[in-house]
């Protein structure tokens, strides 16, 4: 393991590689413990690099067996090689060939980076820097090579052999029980996109013809016996291919597109060229095992990885500082895809919930960083909500600023100008400048600084002049006075007591509002609407037009007007969320004046449900789902007391459950599927289930006994995992026999379904009661639990640290101790997962003093442990800085 203090890598130090590798021939002889890799590299000096520079190839945990330069063993003093690198001191100043033979042990590779085995299946993960664990290489994204890979393995153990690109040859190795396959990928790619797979796998496939007339075979490979759970993912690939053609004019470029599901994977999935490798959680689905949320996530992640084929693979990143170039853009693309496949309004709400739950707190804590970081010690710690989600918001703002037509033209230009290259954020923006003639240099500031900006808004109405003036002021926490203001697109409209004020005859008019968007480019600015007949309610940041916190001038009466009449669905939802947040924070701050407000809110929600619940159940479910405890903590910001937050949220759920009880019960009836209805995972059916289950949650909050009965009946009748799990989740909140019996029955029913048991682990980890820490410790010894499987760890310990605020933040520190122990136990085997788990401590400085001290001491205990990985060291250093 690497234990040295990691050097910091800085964007400002970037220089092109001194050498290039045009072609790579790999011969990989798979063996459980003694895999041999022979790499033949066609190298040459890079004209853009330093002439005569040594050749320094990266390596990590490698054993060198043989080395030849142009067919000759180099002189011993010409080379230095160890586990972490290979240097040729005086490489030839002309093209030359290196032949490198290394040995590795895939079974011992518990870090799941490089070549490893998952349930006996050989697979690889090379992003960000795993290829150097397979052979010595220039493991950096701006070195692009054409790969030919020969994979050999025992036929019995690995009948399926897959590589990047297209298959060119296959056969048996005479006189042995081994066979081989040769794959060739014609498109140059960086090493992080390399992949191979070997194992026993079942396959489902379907053909696709691209708009360019290419016949493509799409295939999904899964563990034997699970082919019937791969159909949804397979269809999702097909939908993604078709969508990228119509939405972005992007066609697929190989004859095969393969997806392989493996059960041990550090992240969600990986976009290796022509051979996407997935965490099986994001492939396998059946009504019996997957929730509606799982189906939606599968569709989104399949799309995400597929879309990388253009945004990431055809155009890749010059260096890892440009990670958002592929990730932010690809998240934006997958969000658009999901919005087109499902309800756009509901999807936007889900995107914003996710951004606020994960990115806002990150940006407000010690791990905050710019969307394009300026430095890193361990790049694998920068696959963050900021790079991904805030990165996507920047692309979305760009589209809002320049309009859809110019955005599409700019994307076409970006792909055309940068195809086959390793690009930068500047290259991206340049394409949009080229098609619009606009200067985007000020907009580029969004990439450069951490922190969520605030925009304070005030409104004033002049009845005599019939004008309404909105004034804006932007600030950025922690940004010095020298920080230039951001370019912030603000989606705007005015709403009156009876509906939107955009009547055709005399609409309110404001000179600088174009297509409903006002652009705030200075620290302060204002806009005046004319022709406004009566004091309006402003609908601000429609569709969440910028990732900012808004200090809004609205009171609850104004918000109720928006909930009723705003044509922007996002802001209708936002209005309800803000009212609920206000009521709950008032309770946390011990301001008891909120009672009448709560009654008004209940009445308004009742009217809303009567008018709309059956018309758009998915949206209604979002309106009923109160802001999370995390949202409240984020809103409160300092001296956080998770117990007070929990109590406030519980009390408001009780109030809603009491006040809306009859309606919720009859909605559940009205939304029940008639018996015998076949299961469909589509958005409409999922929306009906979501609303029924949101109703169950509130009913149970108000009346645990009734809730228990309903939940038990729902579990008994459930025809799908969504309803079964929602029943179990409701029961999990009510201590007692019924809960324990339901948990046991669930475990028994799914004893052989690891992905379903993950849900069972998670539900228990999220129980907001004193015994949960002890329960988790018990479950860590459950036969289905394994510290070596990232999904199990995330389900049991990750859910606890991220979704059980009262117990993770126990005042006695027992929650922190549990997570710290898990981090330390994992660090030796899988530092990436350990480091990610540790990020749960991020908000520690915002806690009230007792918990703050306990969290800090847990963090310090981790950081003081000798022999930590670079991954955990980096999180520890930054968390405590």
Residues from 225 through 284 that contact ligand 0A1 (CB under 6 A):
266-271
- Compute the distance between CA of residue 852 and CA of residue 842 in angstroms, rounded to an integer: 11
- For residues 606 to 645, the per-residue mask of contacts with ligand 0A1, x marking binding by CB under 6 A and - elsewhere, is ----------------------------------------
Cβ proximity to ligand 0A1, 130 vs 642, nearer residue = 130
What are 209's strand-pairing partners?
215
- Compute the distance between CA of residue 252 and CA of residue 514 in angstroms, rounded to an integer: 37
Is the Cβ–Cβ distance between 436 and 532 less than 8 Å? no
- Compute the distance between CA of residue 673 and CA of residue 690 in angstroms, rounded to an integer: 13
- For residues 285 to 304, the per-residue mask of contacts with ligand 0A1, x marking binding by CB under 6 A and - elsewhere, is -------------------x
| Neighbour tally for 156: CB within 10 Å | 10
Cβ proximity to Zn ion, 302 vs 767, nearer residue = 302
By CB under 6 A, residue 789 contacts ligand 0A1: no
What, of Zn ion, ligand 0A1, none, does residue 127 touch, CB below 5 to 8 Å by kind? Answer: ligand 0A1
By CB under 6 A, residue 363 contacts ligand 0A1: no
- Compute the distance between CA of residue 308 and CA of residue 332 in angstroms, rounded to an integer: 11
To the query of whether residue 305 is one of the catalytic residues in this protein, the response is yes
We find the least distance from the C-beta atom of residue 302 to Zn ion, in angstroms, to be 12
| Neighbour tally for 881: CB within 10 Å | 7
Closest to 432 in 3D by CA, of 420, 450, 418: 418
Task: Provide the token pair at 696.
Answer: 């169950």
Q: How many residues bind ligand 0A1, per CB under 6 A?
A: 13
Residues from 325 through 354 that contact Zn ion (CB under 5 A):
327, 330
What are 171's strand-pairing partners?
180
We find the least distance from the C-beta atom of residue 164 to Zn ion, in angstroms, to be 17
- Compute the distance between CA of residue 391 and CA of residue 400 in angstroms, rounded to an integer: 15
Cβ proximity to Zn ion, 387 vs 742, nearer residue = 387
Is the Cβ–Cβ distance between 788 and 110 less than 8 Å? yes
We find the least distance from the C-beta atom of residue 308 to Zn ion, in angstroms, to be 6
Query: Would you call 528 helix, strand, or coil by DSSP?
Result: strand
CA distances from 542 to 133, 429, 574 (A): 47, 24, 10
Is the Cβ–Cβ distance between 571 and 490 less than 8 Å? no
Residues from 821 through 880 that contact ligand 0A1 (CB under 6 A):
none
What, of ligand 0A1, Zn ion, none, does residue 758 touch, CB below 5 to 8 Å by kind? Answer: none
We find the least distance from the C-beta atom of residue 426 to ligand 0A1, in angstroms, to be 21
What, of Zn ion, ligand 0A1, none, does residue 269 touch, CB below 5 to 8 Å by kind? Answer: ligand 0A1
- For residues 309 to 328, the per-residue mask of contacts with Zn ion, x marking binding by CB under 5 A and - elsewhere, is ------------------x-
Rg of the chain over all Cα atoms, to the nearest angstrom: 28
- For residues 114 to 133, the per-residue mask of contacts with ligand 0A1, x marking binding by CB under 6 A and - elsewhere, is -----------x-xx-----
What, of Zn ion, ligand 0A1, none, does residue 402 touch, CB below 5 to 8 Å by kind? Answer: none
| Neighbour tally for 496: CB within 10 Å | 18
We find the least distance from the C-beta atom of residue 309 to ligand 0A1, in angstroms, to be 12
We find the least distance from the C-beta atom of residue 382 to ligand 0A1, in angstroms, to be 10
Task: Provide the token pair at 855.
Answer: 């969290």
Cβ proximity to ligand 0A1, 428 vs 573, nearer residue = 428
We find the least distance from the C-beta atom of residue 247 to Zn ion, in angstroms, to be 17
Cβ proximity to ligand 0A1, 60 vs 566, nearer residue = 60
Cβ proximity to ligand 0A1, 320 vs 544, nearer residue = 320
Residues from 657 through 686 that contact ligand 0A1 (CB under 6 A):
none
We find the least distance from the C-beta atom of residue 211 to Zn ion, in angstroms, to be 24
Residues from 367 through 426 that contact ligand 0A1 (CB under 6 A):
383
We find the least distance from the C-beta atom of residue 442 to ligand 0A1, in angstroms, to be 29
What, of Zn ion, ligand 0A1, none, does residue 270 touch, CB below 5 to 8 Å by kind? Answer: ligand 0A1
Angle at 200 between CA 197 and CA 201, to 5 degrees: 80
Could you give the count of Cα atoms lying within 13 Å of 847 in the half-sphere of its Cβ? 23
By CB under 6 A, residue 31 contacts ligand 0A1: no
Task: Provide the token pair at 564.
Answer: 């009723």
Cβ proximity to ligand 0A1, 123 vs 435, nearer residue = 123
Asked if residue 67 has a cis previous peptide bond (ω within 30° of 0), the answer is no
By CB under 6 A, residue 142 contacts ligand 0A1: no
Catalytic residue among 305, 327, 336, 351: 305
By CB under 6 A, residue 324 contacts ligand 0A1: no
**Could you identify the residue written with the tokens 């309903």?**
710
- Compute the distance between CA of residue 81 and CA of residue 62 in angstroms, rounded to an integer: 10
Helix (H) or strand (E) holding 495: strand 488-496
- Compute the distance between CA of residue 597 and CA of residue 578 in angstroms, rounded to an integer: 12
DSSP 8-class letter at 24: E
**Could you identify the residue written with the tokens 């490979």?**
221
Provide the edge-to-edge strand list for the sheet that holds 549-551: 524-529, 467-475, 454-462, 549-551
Cβ proximity to ligand 0A1, 253 vs 271, nearer residue = 271
What, of ligand 0A1, Zn ion, none, does residue 124 touch, CB below 5 to 8 Å by kind? Answer: none
What are 124's strand-pairing partners?
115
Cβ proximity to ligand 0A1, 323 vs 683, nearer residue = 323
Residues that bind Zn ion (CB under 5 A): 327, 330
Residues that bind ligand 0A1 (CB under 6 A): 125, 127-128, 266-271, 304-305, 327, 383
Catalytic amino acids?
A: 305
């Amino acid at each position: 393991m690497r234990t040295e203090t990691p050097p910091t890598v800085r964007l400002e130090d970037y220089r092109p590689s001194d050498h290039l590798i045009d072609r790579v021939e790999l011969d990989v002889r798979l063996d459980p413990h003694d895999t041999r890799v022979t790499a033949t590299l066609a190298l040459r000096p890079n004209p853009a690099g330093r002439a005569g520079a040594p050749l320094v190839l990266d390596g990590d945990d490698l054993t060198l067996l043989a080395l030849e330069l142009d067919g000759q063993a180099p002189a011993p003093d010409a080379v230095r090689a160890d586990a972490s690198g290979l240097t040729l001191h005086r490489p030839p100043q002309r093209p030359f060939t290196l032949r490198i033979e290394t040995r590795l042990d895939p079974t011992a590779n518990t870090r799941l980076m490089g070549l490893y085995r998952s349930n006996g299946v050989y697979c690889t993960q090379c992003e960000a820097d795993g290829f150097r664990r397979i052979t010595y290489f220039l493991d950096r994204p701006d070195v692009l090579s054409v790969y030919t890979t020969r994979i050999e393995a025992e036929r019995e153990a690995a009948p399926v052999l897959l590589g990047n690109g297209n298959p060119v040859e296959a056969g048996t190795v005479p006189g042995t029980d081994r066979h081989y396959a040769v794959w060739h990928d014609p498109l140059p790619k960086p090493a992080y996109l390399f992949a191979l797979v070997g194992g026993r796998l079942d396959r489902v496939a379907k053909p696709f013809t691209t708009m360019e007339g290419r016949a493509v075979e799409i295939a999904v490979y899964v563990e034997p016996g699970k082919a019937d759970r791969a159909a949804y993912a397979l269809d999702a690939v097909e939908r993604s291919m078709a969508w990228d053609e119509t939405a972005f004019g992007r066609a697929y470029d190989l004859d095969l597109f393969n997806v392989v599901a493996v059960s041990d994977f550090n992240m969600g999935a990986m976009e290796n060229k022509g051979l996407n490798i997935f965490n099986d959680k994001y492939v396998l689905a059946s009504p019996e095992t997957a929730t509606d949320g799982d189906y939606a996530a599968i569709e989104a992640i399949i799309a995400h990885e597929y879309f990388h084929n253009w945004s990431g693979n055809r155009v890749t990143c010059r260096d890892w500082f440009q990670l958002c170039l592929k990730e932010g853009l690809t998240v934006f693309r997958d969000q658009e895809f999901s919005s087109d496949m499902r309800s756009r309004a509901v999807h936007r709400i889900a995107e914003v919930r996710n951004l606020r739950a994960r990115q806002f707190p990150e940006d407000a804590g010690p791990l905050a960083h710019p969307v394009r970081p300026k430095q890193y010690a361990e790049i694998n710690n920068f696959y963050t909500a900021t790079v991904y989600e805030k990165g996507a918001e920047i692309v979305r703002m760009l589209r809002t600023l320049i309009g859809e037509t110019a955005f599409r033209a700019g994307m076409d230009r970006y792909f055309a100008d940068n195809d086959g290259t390793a690009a930068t954020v500047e290259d991206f923006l340049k394409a949009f400048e080229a098609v619009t003639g606009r200067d985007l240099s000020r907009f580029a500031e969004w990439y450069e600084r951490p922190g969520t900006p605030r925009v304070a808004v005030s409104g004033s109405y002049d009845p005599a002049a019939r004008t309404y003036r909105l004034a804006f002021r932007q600030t950025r926490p922690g940004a010095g006075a020298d920080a230039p203001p951001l370019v912030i697109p603000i989606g705007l409209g005015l709403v009156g007591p009876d509906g939107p004020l955009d009547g055709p005859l005399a609409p309110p008019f404001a000179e600088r509002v174009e297509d409903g968007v006002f652009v705030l480019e200075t620290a302060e600015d204002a806009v005046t609407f004319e022709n406004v007949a009566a004091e309006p309610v402003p609908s601000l940041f429609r569709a969440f037009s910028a990732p900012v916190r808004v200090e809004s001038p609205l009171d609850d009466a104004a918000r109720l007007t928006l909930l009723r009449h705003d044509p922007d669905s996002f802001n209708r939802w936002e209005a309800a969320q803000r009212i609920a947040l206000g009521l709950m924070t008032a309770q946390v701050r011990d301001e008891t004046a909120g009672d009448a407000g709560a009654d008004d809110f209940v009445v308004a929600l009742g009217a809303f449900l009567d008018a709309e619940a059956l018309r758009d159940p998915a949206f209604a479910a979002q309106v009923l789902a109160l802001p999370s405890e995390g949202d409240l903590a984020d809103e409160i910001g300092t001296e956080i007391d998770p117990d007070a937050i929990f109590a406030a949220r519980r009390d408001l759920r009780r109030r809603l459950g009491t006040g809306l009880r009859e309606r919720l019960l009859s909605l559940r009836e009205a939304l029940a599927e008639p018996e015998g209805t076949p299961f469909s995972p589509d958005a409409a059916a999922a929306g009906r289930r979501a609303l029924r289950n949101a109703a169950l949650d509130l009913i149970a909050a108000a009346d645990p006994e009734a809730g228990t009965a309903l939940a038990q009946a729902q579990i008994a009748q459930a025809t799908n995992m969504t309803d079964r799990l929602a029943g179990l989740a409701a029961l999990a909140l009510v201590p007692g026999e019924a809960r324990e019996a339901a948990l046991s029955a669930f475990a028994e029913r799914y004893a052989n379904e690891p992905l379903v048991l993950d849900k069972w682990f998670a539900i228990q980890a999220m129980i907001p009661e004193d015994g949960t820490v002890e329960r988790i410790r018990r479950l860590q010894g459950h036969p289905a639990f394994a510290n070596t499987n990232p999904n199990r760890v995330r389900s049991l310990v990750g859910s606890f640290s991220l979704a059980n605020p009262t117990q993770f933040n126990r005042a006695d520190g027992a929650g922190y101790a549990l997570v710290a122990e898990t981090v330390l136990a994992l660090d030796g085997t899988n530092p990436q997962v350990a480091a990610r788990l540790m990020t749960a401590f991020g908000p520690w400085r915002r806690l009230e003093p007792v918990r703050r001290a306990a969290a800090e001491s847990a963090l310090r205990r981790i950081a003081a442990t000798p022999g930590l990985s670079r991954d955990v060291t980096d999180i520890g250093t930054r968390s405590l800085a």
